Amino acid sequence: MKAQHLQAMFARRREMEHMHIERTQAVNKYFDHWGKVTSRFENWTTPEYYKQAEEKLQRSKQEKEKQKQLSERKEKLALLFDQEKEQYDMELREKQRSRKTRALSTSTLEKINVNLKEQQAIRRKLELEAKLYGKWRHGVDDANLIFESKNDHEVIAKLSWLDKQVENQLEKEKDEIEAKERDLRLQAEQNRAEELHKQRQQIREKEIREIRALQEMHMEQLQERQKESETLKESEHKLRENIEELEKEIELLDESYAVMQQKADFGGAYNLTKIKVFMRKRSEVFRNQIKLCISILERMLPEACKPETLLNFKEKLSKQLDSEMYTLTQIDAMYESEAKYNLLRCEDLWQTQTSERYKELKDLLNLERNSKGKVLNDVLQRESELLDIRSTHLNAIENTGEKLKQLIKEEEESPRACIVSQADHITECCHATTACSPRSCHSSTCDTVDSSRSCAPPSRICHESHSALKLPNDTCNLNASQKKRYEHNISNTFKDLNLDVWESMPNSPRDLVNQRVDAQRSLRVVTSETAERPKFGRKRVAWT
């Protein structure tokens, strides 16, 4: 019976050893397999891998930004080229346009023909008058003839003055057309300047919108980085707490192992009952130690980096606990002969399992602590990178803010008002330079006989900003010398005929009367609107 019991005990022992060997081989096989699998992805967790990926991403972003800036610059240059080309074509058309004078209307040509015929008639009359005065000087004293000749000369002077007014009117119309063309060119320049200003303002507004969009993008990036930083801070706090808890668990494990390593006192176990009581107490101590290890594993599982390993080890400890419970049930069935042997064997087995359990669990705890420490270092490194990125975004926002202020200042100091004021000033200067004084108008209207004799082109007339040519009809605004010169230029035009009789001949009574009448009467100035051929100018004078 005893031999059978020993054989059964040895068989159970061999079976337990065989099971232990199988479990050990399974664990080793598991670690070897997953070690080979995870060795391919070890470089994914190295800082160099993330650094290279970040550098590659930055290079791609810089290249995209550079291409974007180049495309924008190309569009701006193309726009400027089109504007310069359009301006060049406009200037080329302006230079190549025909410089021929505008064709005159039929009525204007008829008026000019009539004026030429009248000038020829006046020239013939002047020649006949010269002969008449020569004849009168040689003894002809006909007061009636002299009176009629005087009237005829007044008619000739008035007709000549009327021809001059018509010529002045034609020149005035021509100058008005030129002034309109100048105004149109000036308006075109103003429109072109305004269009250019609008285009520049649109480009400036586009740049402002782009800068504001860039600032918004930087702000969004800052907000995202801020959220990520807060998440990392929470992770850092949680990791530090987990590491502290792991250190406490390791400390607790060390304390429990130190207690378990104390040698047991077998002095009180001198009979079967004492041995059973002693073995129950020791079994309870070791079961409590296993439960402590299981509780440590359960506390580690929610925050574990590798929960599969912990679960496997927990299952292993659960099996050991079940085995201890089974051993506890076998204690009551022991005989006195095998009690001491089982006591020593169980004590050795308990110490061995405790040592192995302590080493494996401590290795797992250290592995978890190292993993969390590595993750914590990565989190700290990422936080430092986020600080650098945040400073970069802040610098970019400051730079774009300065550029935005500069663009807004340029928009406020836009030269549009200056361009408009300069254009108005140019218009006023053009009108001022083309306008002339009343004295020059008087002198241009009074040289009638000389222009009729020489058939020279009409003199320059005054161009004012009004639509019609206005002669100085308000003679009261002229001073005495100008009024006297204006009257004598009309009444004494015969001095320009180059006749000696007027220089040496004394004034006749009729001439004195005419001078007094001319001095007393007020001149009736004919404008372009009221000009008409006088009735007395149509009478035919018979010359003998």
Q: Measure the CA–CA gap between 445 and 303, rounded to whole angstroms.
A: 112
Local confidence band at 308 (pLDDT 50, 70, 90 cut-offs): confident
Flag whether 224 is in a domain: no
pLDDT at 504 over 80: no
Q: Measure the CA–CA gap between 370 and 141, rounded to whole angstroms.
A: 148
Q: Measure the CA–CA gap between 271 and 336, rounded to whole angstroms.
A: 7
Helices (H), 261-306: 272-300
Average pLDDT rounded to a whole number, residues 146-173: 74
Q: Measure the CA–CA gap between 189 and 178, rounded to whole angstroms.
A: 16
pLDDT at 439 over 50: no
Local confidence band at 278 (pLDDT 50, 70, 90 cut-offs): confident
pLDDT at 100 over 70: no
Q: Measure the CA–CA gap between 396 and 393, rounded to whole angstroms.
A: 5
Local confidence band at 508 (pLDDT 50, 70, 90 cut-offs): low
CA distances from 457 to 120, 447, 450, 461, 495 (A): 15, 12, 11, 12, 22
Q: Which residue has the higher pLDDT, 329 or 462?
A: 329
pLDDT at 85 over 90: yes
pLDDT at 392 over 70: yes
Lowest mean pLDDT among 19-23, 228-232, 283-287, 481-485: 481-485
Which of 126, 133, 110, 132 has the alpha carbon at shortest distance from 159?
126
- Give Cβ neighbours of residue 393 (< 8 Å, ≥ 6 apart): 218, 221, 222, 225
pLDDT at 258 over 80: yes
pLDDT given at position 497? 38
Q: Return the percentage of the chain with pLDDT > 70, whole number.
A: 67
Average pLDDT rounded to a whole number, residues 424-437: 47
Q: pLDDT (tens digit, 9 = 90+) per residue, 228-252? A: 889 889 988 888 888 888 888 888 8
pLDDT at 23 over 80: yes
Local confidence band at 513 (pLDDT 50, 70, 90 cut-offs): low
pLDDT at 449 over 50: no
pLDDT given at position 181? 92
pLDDT at 77 over 90: yes
Give SS3 for 103: coil
Q: pLDDT (tens digit, 9 = 90+) per residue, 26-62? A: 999 999 998 888 777 777 777 887 888 899 999 999 9
pLDDT at 154 over 80: no
pLDDT at 134 over 50: yes
Q: Output DSSP code: residue 102.
A: P
Which of 266, 295, 264, 409 has the alpha carbon at shortest distance from 361?
295
Q: Measure the CA–CA gap between 340 and 358, rounded to whole angstroms.
A: 27
- Give Cβ neighbours of residue 16 (< 8 Å, ≥ 6 apart): none
Containing 507, the helix (H) or strand (E) segment is none
pLDDT given at position 264? 65
Of the residues 371, 393, 411, which one is the last residue of a structural domain?
411
DSSP 485-500: HHHHHHHTGGGGG--T
Q: pLDDT (tens digit, 9 = 90+) per residue, 193-206? A: 989 888 888 888 88
Residue 421 near residue 215 (C-beta atoms within 8 A): no
Flag whether 355 is in a domain: yes
pLDDT given at position 214? 87
Local confidence band at 372 (pLDDT 50, 70, 90 cut-offs): confident
Flag whether 427 is in a domain: no
Average pLDDT rounded to a whole number, residues 158-165: 76
Residue 242 has phi, psi (to 5 degrees) of -65, -40
Which of 151, 152, 157 has the alpha carbon at shortest distance from 119?
157
Which of 353, 366, 358 has the alpha carbon at shortest distance from 321?
353
Per the listing, tokens 């022991």 go with: 334
Number of domains in the chain: 2
Residue range(s) defining the domain that contains residue 26: 1-45
pLDDT at 503 over 60: no
Flag whether 205 is in a domain: no
What does the block give as tokens for 323? 């085995």
Average pLDDT rounded to a whole number, residues 481-510: 45
Q: Measure the CA–CA gap between 347 and 345, rounded to whole angstroms.
A: 5
Helical pair 143-260 and 272-300, crossing angle rounded to 10 deg: 170
Which of 458, 447, 426 has the alpha carbon at shortest distance from 490?
447
Q: Which residue has the higher pLDDT, 284 or 19?
A: 19
Residue 523 near residue 486 (C-beta atoms within 8 A): yes
Residue 325 near residue 287 (C-beta atoms within 8 A): yes
Q: Measure the CA–CA gap between 530 and 468, rounded to whole angstroms.
A: 12
Containing 535, the helix (H) or strand (E) segment is none
CA distances from 63 to 77, 215, 429 (A): 21, 20, 55
Average pLDDT rounded to a whole number, residues 154-163: 74
Q: Measure the CA–CA gap between 320 and 288, rounded to whole angstroms.
A: 12
